[in-house]
Amino acid sequence: MDGTEPQFLDLGPQRGTPQGAPRKIAFRYDEGSADAPAGILWLSGFLSDMASTKVSALAEWAAAKDLPMMRFDYSGHGVSSGKVADGAMGDWLEESIAISERMGDRPILLVGSSMGGWLSLLLARHLIETGKGDRLAGIVLIAPAWDMTESLMWHRFTDEIRREIEEKGIYYQPSLYGDPYPLSKLLIEEGRTHLLAGSRFDPKCPVRILQGMEDPDVPWRHALALVEILAGGDVELDLIKDADHRLSRPQDIARLTRTIEGVLEEIA
């Protein structure tokens, strides 16, 4: 499926380039069966894309089940236009909303990994606030990095790193997964307008959370704190003792597809 040419959606410039070129957001959509209980909308993690291990495996599984599935690249990620350093959560939320609308009126099952978990919850909140909450069939979160820019970045930074961001506008954080992460002042400050902490939120649909207990990036207690702010009754946290942040081993992907299948059976 990754061999097919992506389609592109045009949106306005990124927040970091107000006079820049419009964003071209790449996406792939397999419409699947019209009788499916919901379409899957995948939301990737920071600096990940729609060709990563987990989403590629999930796309193959969904195709075999004839399930609709949408996946896309945020601006500055994958084959979409733009730069990561010019982007912010508001950009990627706008893109998530616009991509969800390309799926029509069908119910959607949000599947978000890491930062995509935060975006899944922000998208769910947007749908509820705009009177479209009935489209939410369920939410499956993989190591959800909710409130990432504040709780998992700014609060963890040393004073030296904070000064570098304030003075230079950007900090390149070493990564376990490849090139350093470009963390901009824009990303941190704009992220504060999207925080979930401090108020309870009921997505009014099944929520399933998969979290590795050996995750160095999103501690399992961060996932537990999310359970506490989710006001809905149908929320389950699955802690995997020997799993890390990626949750991309064959057994992790099998657990993910079982979880998605369970939610689809519940809502069918």
Element (DSSP H or E) covering residue 7: strand 7-11
Closest CA to 63 of 97, 28, 95: 28
Residues 109/137, Cβ–Cβ less than 8 Å = yes
Query: How many Å apart are CA 222 and CA 209, to the nearest integer?
Result: 11
Torsion, Cα of 120, 225, 186, 7 (10° steps) = -20
Going from the N-terminus, what domains does the chain have, and what CATH number goes with each? Answer: 7-267 (3.40.50.1820)
Please choose, from the candidates 1, 4, 100, the residue with its C-alpha nearest in 3D space to the C-alpha of residue 43: 100
Q: Where are the beta strands (DSSP E) in 61-196?
A: 69-72, 108-113, 136-142, 170-175, 178-184
Reading the chain (268 residues) residue by residue, the pLDDT tens digits are 455 789 999 999 999 998 889 999 999 999 999 999 999 999 999 999 999 999 999 999 999 999 999 999 999 999 999 999 999 999 999 999 999 999 999 999 999 999 999 999 999 999 999 999 999 999 999 999 999 999 999 999 999 999 999 999 999 998 877 788 899 999 999 999 999 999 999 999 999 999 999 999 999 999 999 999 999 999 999 999 999 999 999 999 999 999 999 999 999 8
| pLDDT at res. 2 | 55
User: Residue 1: its pLDDT value, please?
Assistant: 44
Determine the pLDDT at residue 4. 73
| Count of all residues that appear for the chain in the document | 268
